[in-house]
Amino acid sequence: MTAAPESTPHEPEAAQAALLLREELLRQVASLPTLPGVYRYFDSQDGVLYVGKAINLRKRVANYFQKNHGATRIGHMVSKIARMQTTVVRSEAEALLLENNLIKTLNPRYNILFRDDKSYPYLKLSGLGTSAGAAGQFPRVSYYRGAVEKKHHYFGPYPSAWAVKEAILLMQKVFRLRTCEDAVFNNRSRPCLLYEIKRCSAPCVGHIAPAAYAQDRANAERFLRGDAQQVMQGLEVSMLAHAERLEFEQAAELRNQVAALSNVLHQQSVDNVSDRDVDILAVKVSGGRACVNLAMVRGGRHLGDRPYFPVHVDDAVSLSLPDEQEGVEGQGDGVVSPECKILEAFVAQHYLSQPIPASLIVSDPIGKPLLRALSSQAGFRVSAVHQPREQRRAWLDMAQTNVGLQLARLLAEEGSQQARSRALADALDLGLDNLDELRIECFDISHTAGEATQASCVVFQQHKMQSAQYRRYRIEGITPGDDYAAMRQVLLRRYSAIAQALQEAQKTGAGPPGTARLPDLVLVDGGKGQVTMAREVFEQLGLDLGLIIGVEKGQGRKVGLEELVFADGREKVYLGKDSAALMLVAQIRDEAHRFAITGMRAQRAKVRLDGGKLEDIPGVGPRRRASLLQRFGGVRGVAQASADDIATVEGISRELAEAIYRALH
């Protein structure tokens, strides 16, 4: 007969604490107002679990606590709630906007979350007179990403940089607008190659009058706004007028422009539709993942599309209560499809920070409250067409085809990455229960003959590189070129605080804080020497030596011949050239190498070129900095000069020269 496991003394206390916590939460729920608002749930570590909105706060939050959700995802999430916060707002629209602002900033565990840290690119037409010199009379067309300014005209957003560059090429072919920088424009004495190949009208050397160039710019702007046919008709009228006045050269120029525009219209498939600016949204769910494909139509032209892949899809869809989706057409039974929930989450989060067109074409219906909130924020009526016809139908069919292809590609890539993670865990006998939690950190050192030494740390988790968690470390106070000392410094800086937190948690018997988690593997790009240095650091900090693995280059430094070196005394391991585990190790190592090199080059360029270090020296302003750079040819030249040499520069006293010398050495 098997004896029942003995209960620990802490179990009754823990159960009582849980009961008291639930009673306290129920009291808070009972005191909530019956007004619109937003609620947040937090766990015992103060991490955000869930953010939701409600028309009636008390009724909504009570649904979580007054019902028995059993072993469902809702029940699992409710069991983790340690406290909650609520915010009362004036309307449902405000609640929706606040909810999605909080989702984007707090990154809750159980909400659908779309991540996109890149701003959209625009095509920029500089305003008349905004540039210095003659360039101000001839505005340029350029690629732009960032905050917009009222003095310039911006067109877009475009889904990719490639789409913007295609549009700029179009402006060159048809309207021959300049793309050169103002400094180049103001200092040219003869036309450049773009003029010779008929991609620019050469305003820099006076080959076109300001009035004629202004007309080309106006036509380009009208074309970008969708008035292509009107631009074509205007050019044809001007061409005939020049021909009647026997101005055949001007007529020929306009004839060529009309022909170029006609060819572009044919190639670019500009659609003669009433919709000038439209976003087309298609969503697909498969294999536990989801994808939203956003296609953009601007000025009647289809500019391309961009896929988005949300996280926390399964948890968030399961946690949504039936009455959270109100006013969704075709969902009268109270059950809303996952596609509708994902699409609404994308629309709400995406258009908080991006301009929204007046028309959306969607593969699944969107709730009326969301559309009202978007209209209120945009200042005009926003409509969503679920079952379009004619040209709109063709756009949606294209978006649905692309969303299927993008999701299939993602699932194939993730399957490959998961297979690599599994192969590495098996090869190293990591014994992990959940491979999704496998965390690998990799370090590399980069410098140029000891100059601008930087260390990189990249992170692999959840079967992909986590670029938001990458870190660079400037290495100082070592002998230039000493890679071992650099590795020692970066490992100490990375793991000292974690080791201290783990030791304190061990003394008190409490669990370590969430931020004090060691990775499952620590890769160092190097062989026995680097591994020895890493072992010394881990011994000093009292950490597990079995975590450290060195990636030693094979014979002839050929890819695929790398061997793994262990800090705990195990023999070297060669995984095999075609090993999936080695492919993962090489992928992580190469990413660490790339990240270190880009940081080192940026730091080196700053020191060599922009003289940033000089302006940090007290007493050295822009004028003295310019004099120093002119005399010695750059910061490196100043650094190589003696204090006596520096003192010979006009405006530099002996005391300041010595201060400059000390600062650069």
Cα–Cα dist 327/53, whole Å: 15
Give the pLDDT mean for 463-485: 88
Strands 37-42 and 83-88, by their bridges, are antiparallel
C-alpha–C-alpha distance, residues 582 and 561, integer Å: 9
Segment 475-480 shows an average pLDDT of: 86
H or E element at residue 464: strand 464-465
Residue 330 has pLDDT above 80, yes or no: no
Q: What is the pLDDT of residues 357-399, one digit of tens each?
A: 889 999 999 888 888 888 888 889 999 998 888 888 988 999 9
Share of the chain above pLDDT 70, in %: 85
pLDDT tens digits for range 195-208: 888 889 899 988 88
Alpha-carbon distance of 469 to 252, in angstroms, equals: 59
- CB neighbourhood size of 360 (10 A): 21
Instruction: Report the residue count for the chain.
Output: 665
Residue 83 pLDDT exceeds 70: yes
Provide the pLDDT for residue 115: 72
Whether the pLDDT of residue 663 is over 90: the answer is no
pLDDT of residue 611: 45
User: Is CATH 1.10.150.20 correct for 611-664?
Assistant: yes
Q: What number of other Cβ atoms are within 10 A of residue 146's Cβ?
A: 9
- Mean pLDDT highest for which of 17-31, 240-254, 520-534, 551-565? 520-534
Burial of 398 from C-beta contacts in 10 A (0-12 / 13-18 / 19+): middle
CATH of domain 435-506+515-606: 3.30.420.340
Q: What are the distances in angstroms from CA 189 to CA 140, 198, 203, 204, 588?
A: 18, 18, 11, 8, 50
Nearest Cα residue to 437 out of 457, 417, 456, 462: 462
**Taking 60 as the threshold, does the pLDDT of residue 594 lie above it?**
yes
The pair of structure tokens assigned to 347 is: 């629309």
The torsion defined by the Cα of 388, 122, 164 and 207, in degrees rounded to 10, comes to 130
Task: Taking residues 36-61, report their average pLDDT.
Answer: 89
Q: What is the pLDDT of residue 329?
A: 47
Backbone φ and ψ for 541, nearest 5 degrees, come out as -90, -10
Angstrom distance (rounded) from CA 356 to CA 260 = 32
Q: CA distances (Å), 499 to each of 234, 473, 521, 556, in order? A: 73, 19, 15, 38
pLDDT band at 324 (very low <50, low <70, confident <90, very high): very low
pLDDT at 109 over 70: yes
Specify the pLDDT at position 315: 67
Q: How far apart are CA 102 and CA 308, in angstroms?
A: 19
Rounded to the nearest 5°, which phi and psi values hold at 24? -65, -40
Task: Give the confidence band of 516 by pLDDT, cuts at 50, 70, 90.
Answer: low
Average pLDDT over residues 167-174: 83
In the structure encoding, which two tokens stand for residue 593, read together? Answer: 């190498």
Q: How far is CA 640 from CA 296, 422, 601, in A?
A: 55, 53, 20
| Contacting residues for 463 by C-beta, under 8 A, at least 6 apart | 414, 417, 418, 420, 421, 435, 436, 438
Buried b (16+ CB within 10 A) or exposed e, 618-631: eebeeebbeebbeb
Q: Which of 338, 383, 347, 339 is nearest to 363 (CA)?
A: 339
Q: Give 7's pLDDT tier (boundaries 50, 70, 90).
A: very low
pLDDT given at position 283:
93
What tens digit of pLDDT does each residue of 112-156 get? 888 765 678 888 888 777 776 677 788 888 888 877 778 888 887
Between CA 347 and CA 36 the distance in angstroms is: 21
* pLDDT tens digits, 441-450: 999 998 877 7
CA distance linking residue 360 with residue 374, whole number of Å: 11
Joined together, the tokens standing for residue 52 give 């939701």
pLDDT confidence tier of residue 481, bands split at 50, 70 and 90: confident
Using an 8 Å Cβ cutoff, are 599 and 640 in contact? no
DSSP 455-470: EEEEEEETTEE-GGG-
Residue spans in the chain of domains classed CATH 3.30.420.340: 435-506+515-606
What pLDDT does residue 199 have?
A: 85
Q: What is the pLDDT of residue 302?
A: 80
Q: Give just the sign of the alpha carbon dihedral 639, 645, 648, 652.
A: positive
Whose tokens are 């010595």? That residue is 658
Number of other residues whose CB lies within 10 A of the CB of residue 189: 6
Residue 104's φ and ψ, nearest 5 degrees, are -70, -30
CA dihedral for 504, 510, 513, 514, sign (positive or negative): positive
Distance, in Å, from the CA atom of 528 to the CA atom of 549, rounded to the nearest integer, reads: 10
Q: Which residues pair with 296 in a beta bridge?
A: 279, 304
Number of Cβ within 10 Å of residue 19's Cβ equals 10
| Per-chain mean pLDDT for the chain | 81
pLDDT over threshold 70, residue 435? yes
Q: Is the model's pLDDT at 645 over the cut of 70? A: yes
Start-end ranges of CATH 3.40.1440.10 in the chain? 13-106
Cis upstream peptide for 307 (omega within 30°): no
51 vs 87: CA distance, rounded Å:
11
Q: Output the CA–CA distances (angstroms, integers) from residue 148 to 161, 163, 355, 379, 594, in the order listed.
A: 17, 19, 12, 19, 32
- Return the CATH architecture of domain 13-106: 3-Layer(aba) Sandwich (3.40)
Nearest partner of 505 among 492, 519, 494, 516, judged by Cα: 516
3-class state of residue 139 by DSSP? coil
